[in-house]
């Protein structure tokens, strides 16, 4: 791969690293979420269900923040999950601006059933790296990703 760009050594290295990072994450994303096709969930919908399962009920802005998406996006994704009766909206009585999103029984059943497949897919994908390499990657990504 690599760019055809001729610049300083520093810039070339940065571009090359950046491209590899992007390719790895996009390639992994596709590989890992392939199984979602079976249950007709999109990656975003899966992300919402997983967050609700592991963090409990959240309001939309919290979900948007966790998933690095905008509020408008959350409205639509939750709309679509609600249509399928996988989540439920509930207006907060304390502060009526907030809407907390809850898993329904059907939603909990579904995400609990498919989450193990997700774990399996991620684990298998990561087996290309040793435990030490994974720790190293984790640390480097943390440095790069932190705000």
Partner DNA sequence: GCTTGACAACTTAATATTGAAGTATTCGAC
Partner DNA sequence: GTCGAATACTTCAATATTAAGTTGTCAAGC
Q: How far is CA 61 from CA 22, 70, 86, in A?
A: 26, 8, 19
In the list 37, 83, 96, 142, the residue contacting its own copies (rule: CB under 8 A) is 142
Using the rule CB under 7 A, give the single segment among 11-19, 57-65, 112-120, 136-144 that binds DNA: 57-65
User: Does residue 113 belong to the site contacting its own copies (CB under 8 A)?
Assistant: no
131's tokens: 């435990």
Binding at 141: pick from DNA, its own copies, none (beta carbon under 5-8 Å per type): its own copies
User: Does residue 57 belong to the site contacting DNA (CB under 7 A)?
Assistant: no
- For 22-51, b/e burial (b = at least 16 CB within 10 A) is eeeeeeeeeebbeebeeeebeebbbbbbbb
Using the rule CB under 8 A, give the single segment among 71-79, 89-97, 103-111, 120-128 that binds its own copies: 120-128
């Amino acid at each position: 791969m690599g760019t055809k760009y001729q610049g300083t050594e520093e810039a070339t290295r940065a571009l090359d690293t950046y491209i590899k990072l992007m390719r790895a994450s996009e390639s992994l994303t596709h590989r890992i979420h392939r199984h979602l096709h079976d249950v007709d969930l999109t990656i975003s919908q899966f992300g919402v269900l997983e967050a609700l399962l592991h963090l409990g009920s959240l309001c939309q802005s919290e979900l948007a923040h966790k998933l690095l998406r905008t509020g408008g996006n959350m409205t639509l994704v939750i709309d679509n999950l609600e249509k399928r009766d996988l989540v439920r909206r509930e207006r907060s009585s304390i502060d009526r601006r907030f809407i907390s999103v809850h898993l329904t029984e059907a939603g909990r059943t579904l995400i609990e059933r498919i989450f193990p497949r997700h774990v399996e897919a991620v684990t298998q994908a990561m087996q290309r790296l040793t435990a030490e390499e994974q720790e190293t990657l984790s640390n480097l990504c943390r440095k790069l990703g932190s705000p």
